[in-house]
A and B are shown apart, each in its own frame.
Chain A
């Protein structure tokens, strides 16, 4: 079983990487409103398990990041 964890900077926090990418895309003429740059962690599991607990404890810092499990 494969899962993907998408980790993004928390809403409202300054994301200088996202801002720099947005400015570049806007300068290139694209109608871009907001860009966030995060990371993807792809995990292959041996068996089914409570992945939320693992993600929150080990992969994400809830103070500054939010995540989506796919």
Chain B
């Protein structure tokens, strides 16, 4: 399995992601920069976190208009696996590969803390090593993570199993207090209707080593190569 890690001007989780894939998973991985026109030959493309193009205009929008943005659309339409983390999730919504939008956090602050998440869909290539309903811990670090989608579209997404992760408390209860940013339905991660494109606000690449106090993130990465 061959991975690509996208690098836009302002990406800043690219090396962490590269490290996880190369050193923890032991898989082949390359950086691809924003001028790249084709992703042929890769099996999974990861769009890492950061502030691509300074988050100018709207988070993710300028990155979505680059040659690499077009290549990601093309790659996903051919069935390739695409994972967008944090700014990568924002880029995927701007590419219209995922529905909805990510808006400024309800409290207007940049939030950097640990959250608990409930795995709602474990049928994806990205989540198949999770138990359904499993509660996991990962850090979030974002200013624009409030997921929004109109209510009628949200219902359709729920019916199709497109809600992958929800913010919850330590016991797995979906509560308002456990919702850090005001996302509709406590949504932290979603997939497209085909299930090959997945975006999430939390950072699984920062949650893979006991030394850092986490181990749940690695389950997501292992799912991809299981």
Contacts and interface: CB of A to CB of B under 8 A. Distances in A.
Given A13-B148, A63-B150, 14 more contacts: A13-B103, A14-B106, A16-B105, A16-B107, A16-B108, A17-B104, A17-B108, A39-B57, A58-B65, A61-B101, A63-B100, A63-B101, A64-B101, A64-B148
Interface of B: 57-58, 61, 65, 94, 100-101, 103-108, 148, 150, 182
A45 B150 CA distance: 35
B204 to A, nearest CB: 26
A20 B108 contact: yes
A11 to B, nearest CB: 13
Nearest to A9: B103
The dominant DSSP class at the B interface is: loop
A20 B65 CA distance: 32
A14 B182 contact: yes
A61 B94 contact: yes
Contact of A64 (B103, B105, B108): B103
B74 to A, nearest CB: 18
Interface in A19-70: 20, 39, 41, 58-59, 61, 63-64
Interface residues of A, number: 12
A39 B65 CA distance: 20
Nearest to B60: A61
B100 to A, nearest CB: 7
Given A58-B65, A61-B101, A63-B100, A16 B106 contact: yes
B107 A61 contact: no
25 contacts: A13-B103, A13-B148, A14-B103, A14-B182, A16-B105, A16-B106, A16-B107, A16-B108, A16-B182, A17-B104, A17-B108, A20-B108, A39-B57, A41-B57, A58-B61, A58-B65, A61-B58, A61-B101, A63-B100, A63-B101, A63-B148, A63-B150, A64-B101, A64-B103, A64-B148
